[in-house]
Structure 1
Amino acid sequence: MLSLKHVYFLQAGMGISANAFLFLFHIFTIHQDHRPKPTDVTTCHLAFVHIVMLLTALDILSMNMFKSLNFPNDLKCKSSFYLSRVMRGLSICTTCLLSIIQAITISPSTFCISRFKQKLPRYISHAFFCFWSLNLCSCSNIIIYTVAYSNMTNPPNIIKFCSFSSMNPIIMELFFTFSLSQNVFFVGLMLLSSAYMVIFLSSHQRRSDYLHSRRVFPRTSPAKRATQTVLLLVSFFVIVYCLDIIMSSVSTILGKYDPVVLDVQRLVGNVYATVSPLVLISSDKRIVGILQSMLDMASILTSR
């Protein structure tokens, strides 16, 4: 179990560092550009959500901070699980929004969804408000029903495990069904927008093969490269989400959060939050150019 903890903290440390770098880069980009790209704003929001998610998973918010403030154990459990669920929901919504934005961005002017291109900045702020409101409300049952359990052999500030208190089966099924329907809806939108982008890229590739000579190697356009990045993120998210939702559903139905099960679930659930910033950083030529310049400058300074 010790090795699992080491992997767990290593994963969270890498994810927080990568997301923090991505977040600060896009904050600077948005500040410098009076008309930032919709994808920059959405990526910045996604990085922020993942930072909070990983911090919560590390119990920096739920345990260390609250321990110094002498907060009750129930509040530690409620805050930890509530923040974790809200951030996971926002991660799904924001990834879905990023996929939809990219599908709208690459759509030709003759297609019906292209009319939303000019209005995307205004719609994004509305979408963020709806996402936060939806997830804050849909996870409200955690605040009411999550409690902390400990035995007499544990120190007073150590939680044995967190669990749901007795809940009406009908209420539990309603919240579970609503949460699952919400996630399935956004994952479905991701898959639809991804399918559209795959079809568009395939048709675009056929046109490129027809127009270009075989002796000419066509360069990948920035739009196509960005679309491929989003498709990679969505595909990876769906795989991780399917594993995470199975474990989360079992824990919710059983109504018991064992520390070992919770550690494994968080390890799987935080894979996307750790890998996604690395994919976005490696595919952004602006960031790659900055990192390359820093490496070149470092090599010059060390050679002197």
Structure 2
Amino acid sequence: MVFHEVLRIMYLVQIITGVLGNSFVIFLYSFKLSTGHKTKPIIIFLIHFLFTNIIFLLFRGIPKIIDVWEFNYFVDFTTSKIISYLQRVSRGLSLCSSCLLSVFQAITISPRSPIWVEVKARVPKYVLPCCLLCWIFNLLVDIVVPVYGTGLRNRTHSKERWQIGFKALDLYPTKTVMFLVWKFVYDSAFVVLMAISSGYMIFVLYRHHQQVQNIQISSVSHKSSPEVRATKTILLLATTSLSFNLMSSMFMIYMTFTKVASPVMIHVSGLLSLCFPTLSPFILLNSDFQITRFSCIH
């Protein structure tokens, strides 16, 4: 079947490209961090963001590859619970780290008022605690996945079960629907926060552009500052993340309320969810002049 062959190639290309791309950019940022005079919070957030992308690609993509390539595998009930649990956690981590990155940059470019100056001074102290809380929250929120998941006797999809990893969620019990709705609300909170911070960054950039136009400056000063370039990059990442997450969620919402787990919709939703972690390292490479220059030299 042509659709099945296309799925095989697309999943394989996404996983290999995404893992290698994120790993390469992590190496470049780590080198930049080790050779810098001081630790920059934005780089730590970016490394954490790229690392969660790798985790998501592996736990989300490998079960899909095993499924569509029809490899012979044996996973016991306990192992299937753990894998499915980590798969859901990794998705939450990817979304949460994108939100942290967007909020941090919004604070960074905020006006130089006394309140914001104090907040900016405290932000570097909370970088690692924020990353740690991101992990703790997602590990706790998705603990119900092993509880309501059921083992798959075979690898066929049914209209009553929605496969996640090596397990399936029965769409008919009320508890399962409640969990899916709660998970949607939880993810939506990060999406809304990311949208607000992105909108705020757009407002600040627009105001900055207006100020530049009203001031007589030399041609050299027309170049964007590193802060503005970083903001545009984070804004592009946030917009891309919002777009792919919303498109992927539309299929999940439809399957939840219609109680029909269509194999085509499941695979389309899976491919869309893998697009952002696959593309994000290349967005960073294309937008960050210093990293691009370093990669060309070395």
In the superposition, the TM-score normalised over structure 1's length comes to 0.82
- How many residue pairs align between the two structures? 285
Match of 2:222, SS state, is coil
Match of 1:202, SS state, is helix
What code does the residue aligned with 1:242 have?
Answer: L
State the distance in 1 between where 2:245 and 2:9 align.
23
Moved more, 81-90 or 206-215: 206-215
Which of 78, 81, 90 is equivalent to 1:78? 81
1:106-128 deviation line (CA, Å, top 9, x unaligned) = 12321633322122122122212
Which of 204, 207, 210 is equivalent to 1:203? 207
Structure 1 pair 144–197 and aligned structure 2 pair: CA distance change class (3 A): same
1:286 maps to 2:280? no
Moved more, 89-98 or 283-292: 283-292
Structure 1 pair 61–79 and aligned structure 2 pair: CA distance change class (3 A): farther
Tell me: higher relative CO, structure 1 or 2? Use CA pairs within 8 A at least 6 residues apart: 2
Q: Which residue of structure 2 aligns with residue 297 of structure 1?
A: none
Match of 1:270, SS state, is helix
1:38-63 deviation line (CA, Å, top 9, x unaligned) = 11011101111111111123327996
State the distance in 1 between where 2:238 and 2:248 align.
15
In the TM superposition, what are the counterparts of 1:1-304 in structure 2 within 5 Å?
A: 1-33=4-36, 35-59=38-62, 71-72=75-76, 74-110=77-113, 112-151=115-154, 162-165=167-170, 168-169=173-174, 171-212=175-216, 218-252=222-256, 260-294=264-298
Structure 2: gaps spanning 5 or more residues: 157-163
Moved more, 40-49 or 181-190: 181-190
What code does the residue aligned with 1:244 have?
Answer: S
Shift of 1:31: 3.6
Structure 1 pair 217–50 and aligned structure 2 pair: CA distance change class (3 A): same
What code does the residue aligned with 1:284 have?
Answer: D
After superposition, the CA RMSD in angstroms is 3.1
Q: Which residue of structure 1 aligns with residue 160 of structure 2?
A: none
Shift of 1:88: 1.2
Q: Which structure would you say has the larger Rg?
A: 1
Match of 1:117, SS state, is helix
Structure 1 pair 217–207 and aligned structure 2 pair: CA distance change class (3 A): same
In the superposition, the TM-score normalised over structure 2's length comes to 0.84
State the distance in 1 between where 2:254 and 2:15 align.
24
Moved more, 126-135 or 223-232: 126-135
Shift of 1:260: 4.7
1:136-176 deviation line (CA, Å, top 9, x unaligned) = 111111111222322599xxxxx99731258851x334423
